[in-house]
Amino acid sequence: MHKYRIILAWAVLFGLPSFCHAKDDAGKVKKIVERSTLNQPGTKPFHMKAMIAPSRESDRGSNRTGEVEIWWASRTQWRREVRSPEFHQIVIVNGAQERQNNEGDYFPEWLRETAVALIEPVPYLDQALKMVNQADVKTMFGNTYYAWMSMSTDGNVEKGMGATIAVTDKTGLLFYGGDLGWGALFKDYKNFHGRMVAMTVTHGTPEVTARVTTLEELRDTPPGLFDAAASSGDLPLLQTVIVEEKVLRKSLLPMDPVVWPPLKDGPQEGVMTTNIVVDRAGRVREIGTIVTDNNAMSEAAKKIIAEMQFAPYLQNGVPVQVVSRITMPFKATRPQGDAPRSIP
């Protein structure tokens, strides 16, 4: 997926022509996304299983391996099991009841987003469609890209990260989509009772690939498959929420003043931003790609963000995992005796 972000950034930077919006781009994209969305009314009950592994040999040590298995009868009756080396979860929804068994205290965001993308490629569709009708529309290599900037601020400075929905023109199927808290690349589509389902889904950095090994009708269900009455004690459900940066920063605990390292080349001042995931104890557990006015600041920024500590973020009085952004200005000096060099 990373290479497609690079391609899109290149296209924007070097000015591939933008095109006028169609009368209703959002309506067109809505139909395309819904065509590949499984967890919606009218979908044939299904059983799905997918295996997840790093996409590249060089990332085999990332520990990003796992599996997802879903039994879906309707939007109000389903069961999902996700498993990785560090986390295992079973969720059962049956009407108003929800049962959850968790082994591990942190649900890795790469695993959660991949599990969602398998059956719901654009999980915040209404929000994304609002942006589609405002997006820059470009065509490249047989795909149409609806691209917009997702802005974030610490209250003083702001910076944007690219967000996109891309459609393959020849097939009319979703190729890529991503914004804060969701995103994946989709290919190898298969028709399942009128739904076009991507059998290969890639996500994240380091990138993982989920390959669907089973997609079949859900026929006879074993007794207890959707039994949500039993619960693992009185533990609160593990939830992940998307939170605006300024809201999350209210929970940031005091920290030492930021000291940026000297910079030999490039701008000494600028702004950086990135996606983060904070666990229920307030620790930063995942840091995304750093978008910055000087790439030489990326490693320093990661170290500073990794040391941030938040008070547990509460929703309805219960600690939850948080997906958000961190935006910061940076200001550095030149090493003594070094003159700046131009960057091609």
Give the pLDDT score at 231.
53
Determine the number of helices (DSSP H) and then strands (DSSP E) in the chain. 6, 19
Q: Look at the block and give the residue holding tokens 């470009």.
A: 138
> In the predicted model, what is the mean pLDDT of residues 7-16?
43
CB neighbourhood size of 323 (10 A) = 21
Percent of the chain scored above 70 by pLDDT?
A: 90
**Is the pLDDT at 66 greater than 90, yes or no?**
yes
**Half-sphere exposure of residue 146, counting CA atoms within 13 Å on the CB side?**
27
pLDDT (tens digit per residue) in 148-159: 999 999 999 999
* pLDDT confidence of residue 24: 87
DSSP for 195-221? EEEEEEEEETTTTEEEEEEEEEE--S-
pLDDT tens-digit profile of 215-272?
A: 999 998 889 999 987 655 557 899 999 999 999 999 999 999 999 999 888 899 999 9
CA 95 to each of CA 69, 116, 241, 275: distance values in angstroms, whole numbers, following the listed order: 20, 20, 22, 34
| Residue 20, pLDDT score | 54
Question: Is the per-residue pLDDT at 140 higher than 90?
Answer: yes
What is the pLDDT, as a whole number, of residue 179?
Answer: 97
Q: Are 100 and 238 in contact (CB under 8 A)?
A: yes
Smallest Cα–Cα separation from 183: which of 275, 81, 250, 114?
A: 114
Strand, helix or coil for residue 123 = coil
* Domain ranges, ordered by start, for the chain: 2-217, 240-331
Does domain 2-217 fall under CATH 2.40.30? My reply is no
What band does 8 get if pLDDT is binned at 50, 70 and 90?
very low
Residue 338: its pLDDT value, please?
A: 57
The architecture CATH gives domain 240-331: 2-Layer Sandwich (3.30)
Structural contact between residues 86 and 139, judged by C-beta atoms closer than 8 angstroms: no
Digit-coded pLDDT (tens) for 302-341: 999 999 999 999 999 999 999 999 999 999 888 776 555 5
Model confidence at 54, in pLDDT bands (50, 70, 90)?
very high
